[in-house]
Amino acid sequence: MGQLTEREKEILSLLRQDPMISQEELANRLNISRSATAVHISNIIKKGAILGRGYVFGEDPGIVVVGTTELTIAASTMEDPLDTGLPEGSITVSCGGAGFHLAGDSQP
């Protein structure tokens, strides 16, 4: 994304607050002409901060990890020392695989 001017940052802030705001309303709030507002918005679009009309914002892309992942669920029971018919047990869950480990390593 290109470097925004202070005026463009101001317009972008107003657009984030109200994405459906008209150019006329933006111009009135900033005490500039509607045509100047249009030029600023066009420059903001060219710099990639918004993606077009309706002001869809361009966010930094996320990370996509491709690789194997696995989920292991292991259950085990122990003898019923009190002969209640309800044996005790445990369940463990673990995650692994190349994709899982790569994703864990890519955290900020």
Examine the domain organization and report whether 96 and 56 are in the same domain.
Answer: no
> How far is it, in rounded angstroms, from Cα 105 to Cα 99?
10
pLDDT of res. 4: 94
pLDDT tens series, the chain, 108 aa = 789 999 999 999 999 999 889 999 999 999 999 999 999 999 999 998 988 666 566 666 677 777 788 889 998 888 776 777 777 788 999 988 888 777 776 555
Number of structural domains (the chain) is 2
Examine the domain organization and report whether 12 and 43 are in the same domain.
Answer: yes
Q: For residue 42, what are its two tokens?
A: 């066009």
pLDDT of res. 95: 87
Residue 98 inside a domain? The answer is: yes
Is 69:97 a contact under the CB 8 Å cutoff? yes
Residue 65 inside a domain? The answer is: no
* Domain span holding position 95: 70-105
- Cβ atoms within 10 Å, residue 41: 21
pLDDT of res. 26: 95
